[in-house]
Chains A and B, each alone.
Chain A
Amino acid sequence: MSGPDAALVLERVSRWYGNVVAVNDVSFSLGPGITGLLGPNGAGKTTILHMLAGLLRPSAGRVSVGGQVAWRNPAVYRSVGLVPEREAVHAFLTGRAFVEMAARLQRLPDPRAAAARAITTVDLEGAADRPVGTYSKGMRQRVKIAGALVHEPPILLLDEPFNGMDPRQRLHMIGLLRTMAEAGRAILFSSHILEEVERLADGVLVIHAGRLAASGDFREIRRLMTDRPHTFVVRSSDDRRLAAAFMTEAAVFGTELRDGRLTVRVAEFGGFTRAVARVARGASVSLFEVAPTDDSLESVFAYLVSRR
């Protein structure tokens, strides 16, 4: 999305700390809906969220939120809620006192009622009158979310919001964020977990080493992630014969036999997995094991960056 409807806009934004480039020439614009900011730890996700939240100055480029410049503009917080990754909340405050404080600082007409609504929304009524210091990690996460959405902002930024939540709380939070997105809010959340983003996000921004590696619809990103060169380790009844048979396949561009292991380099995941059984059968070889070797998220991100 671009133009006046875009709630969150980065235009050729970079951010560096001394000689270290944390975010490198990133551009995107997002409208209502849920977008996942996906990348490994240290990729630059928090830096991007902090720049959108006006807590960091971009070294280059322009960041705007709801049509306003985010940096040095406290007025922007009327329409933005931020859930930071750090757990820090004053331990002596009860959950309710923390959310009511957020409501009063937002100058809401009825802070008590707004806080009660937000606490109900995050399913924290039972613990609302206990000090935050006694909360579990997941409860702290939820009370921060209640504080961020107490003024019902049209834009919500969440940094690793699922950290510390148990599966039930995750499901509840996914449902809550979906409901908020359906009401027309723009929600951007960061995560280093592919499955989290897949379950929740409509769109994805993939960040690796400070650069935007991919962006768009999740299915398209998923296809890019799977249809890339892979390396498989194969164990069979006759590795040498199987290696020769693989080399006749278009999807395979290299095989190697070393230390009793057959390694196969393939052009794309799907083509090889469809062909492997047929090739083995044709060569009269029994397959014992077929395992991808480089399916870490890090290698996926590195590949996505290299192809841009």
Chain B
Amino acid sequence: MTIFGEIAQITLRALLGRRRTLLMLLLAAIPILVGLLVRANARPGPVDVGAFLDAIVIRVVLPLVALVFGTAALGSELEDGTAVHVLTKPIRRSTIVLAKITVAGTLTAALLVPSTIVAGMLIAGLLNTRPGSDPITATFAIGLGVLVGSYLYAAIFVALSIVTSRGLLVGLGYALIWEGILAGLLPGSQVFSVREYVRGIAETLEPSSIESIVGSSAVAYAAIALVTASVIASLRLAVYEVRGGE
């Protein structure tokens, strides 16, 4: 097994603790449960798949699940001291960071892409979806946006967990305050919002799925954000100082 694979494997096992897994499964089930409720109570009139998935998955569940996995992948190990056993090996710091981002992103995507698609299909199965839209294509487009968003959020939250020991709190502030409030009030600030990138990717793939401000530039923005977060995380880990000294 490669060094990358070794670190990824141990990270995966550490992240799949019983309580955390259960909590994340519950979070991932929310879009499906709400989708079932909507379907059960469907009334005549258009149901917008894009708006539904945006409100439940993109705004709430995606950043929360990525936050938990992203900050735990490395941040928890730095906090409890287990990371020292990896840090004191002749391994490039970028390898450690990329393995952590890959695992946190993959776990987030593994839970949320199926959840997004199942929830979207439940809505798309209704007869009275928005006229002129293709709800199934829209669902898959948003699913792909969520896939990219999972890795992007994971990279940002892994980087945050190295930069600050309060990664979970700062990440929550980013998701709730920046993306939830400020990015809606400050014109132009949406270009620094992962949520907008997810919407932009979905819109690029299926224009009727969802509206975004960044549009097709979302792919470029997302790529830049992913690389920037990974580089910052690697550089910060290279100068990371262990706590617990006298």
Tally of A interface residues using CB under 8 Å: 43
Most buried by A among B14, B88, B90: B88
**A86 close to B81 (CB less than 8 A):** yes
Contact of A84 among B6, B7, B81 (CB under 8 A): B81
Q: Assuming A46-B246, A47-B246, A55-B241, is B84 touching A84 (CB within 8 A)? A: yes
Q: Assuming A84-B81, A90-B14, is B88 touching A41 (CB within 8 A)? A: no
A241 adjacent to chain B (CB < 8 Å): no
Q: Assuming A42-B246, A50-B245, is B88 touching A88 (CB within 8 A)? A: no
**A90 close to B10 (CB less than 8 A):** yes
A78 adjacent to chain B (CB < 8 Å): yes
B residues in contact with A63, CB < 8 Å: none
Contact of A72 among B7, B10, B81, B239 (CB under 8 A): B239
Tally of B interface residues using CB under 8 Å: 27
Most buried by B among A76, A98, A104, A144: A104
A144 to B81, CA, bound (A): 12
A residues 173-203 in Cβ contact with B at 8 Å: none
CB proximity of B80 to chain A, nearest CB, Å: 5
A252 adjacent to chain B (CB < 8 Å): no
**B246 close to A44 (CB less than 8 A):** yes
CB proximity of B69 to chain A, nearest CB, Å: 17
Select from chain B the residue with minimum beta-carbon distance to A147: B85
**A46 close to B245 (CB less than 8 A):** yes
A101 adjacent to chain B (CB < 8 Å): yes
**B6 close to A55 (CB less than 8 A):** no
B44 adjacent to chain A (CB < 8 Å): no
B39 adjacent to chain A (CB < 8 Å): no
**B82 close to A90 (CB less than 8 A):** yes
Q: Assuming A72-B239, A86-B244, A90-B13, is B88 touching A53 (CB within 8 A)? A: yes
**A77 close to B245 (CB less than 8 A):** no
A142 adjacent to chain B (CB < 8 Å): no
B residues in contact with A50, CB < 8 Å: 241-242, 245
B residues in contact with A86, CB < 8 Å: 81, 84, 244
CB proximity of A116 to chain B, nearest CB, Å: 18
Select from chain B the residue with minimum beta-carbon distance to A144: B85
A56 adjacent to chain B (CB < 8 Å): yes
B residues in contact with A22, CB < 8 Å: 245-246
A102 adjacent to chain B (CB < 8 Å): yes
B residues in contact with A15, CB < 8 Å: 245
Q: Assuming A41-B246, A84-B81, A89-B82, is B90 touching A77 (CB within 8 A)? A: yes
B residues in contact with A101, CB < 8 Å: 6, 10, 85
CB proximity of A231 to chain B, nearest CB, Å: 29
A residues 39-94 in Cβ contact with B at 8 Å: 41-47, 50, 53-57, 72, 74-78, 80-82, 84-90, 92-93
B227 adjacent to chain A (CB < 8 Å): no
Contact of B6 among A44, A54, A105, A147 (CB under 8 A): A105
A107 adjacent to chain B (CB < 8 Å): yes
Select from chain A the residue with minimum beta-carbon distance to B2: A104
Select from chain B the residue with minimum beta-carbon distance to A72: B238
**B89 close to A106 (CB less than 8 A):** yes
A residues in contact with B220, CB < 8 Å: none
B186 adjacent to chain A (CB < 8 Å): no
CB proximity of B205 to chain A, nearest CB, Å: 40
B3 adjacent to chain A (CB < 8 Å): yes
B91 adjacent to chain A (CB < 8 Å): yes
Most buried by A among B14, B87, B90, B245: B245
Q: Assuming A74-B91, A77-B88, is B245 touching A56 (CB within 8 A)? A: yes
Contact of B80 among A43, A57, A88 (CB under 8 A): A88
CB proximity of A37 to chain B, nearest CB, Å: 11
B93 adjacent to chain A (CB < 8 Å): yes
B residues in contact with A85, CB < 8 Å: 244
Mask: chain B, 131-146; 1 = CB below 8 Å from A; 0 = not = 0000000000000000
Select from chain A the residue with minimum beta-carbon distance to B16: A92
Identify 8 new A-B residue pairs, CB closer than 8 A, beyond the known A47-B246, A50-B245.
A17-B245, A22-B246, A47-B245, A50-B242, A53-B88, A55-B241, A57-B241, A84-B81
* A/B interface sample: 25 pairs, CB < 8 A: A17-B245, A22-B246, A41-B246, A44-B246, A45-B246, A46-B246, A50-B241, A50-B245, A55-B87, A56-B242, A57-B241, A74-B89, A74-B90, A76-B90, A77-B90, A86-B84, A86-B244, A88-B80, A88-B81, A88-B82, A98-B85, A105-B86, A105-B89, A105-B91, A144-B85
CB-CB nearest 5 A-B residue pairs: A88-B81, A86-B81, A105-B89, A47-B245, A55-B242
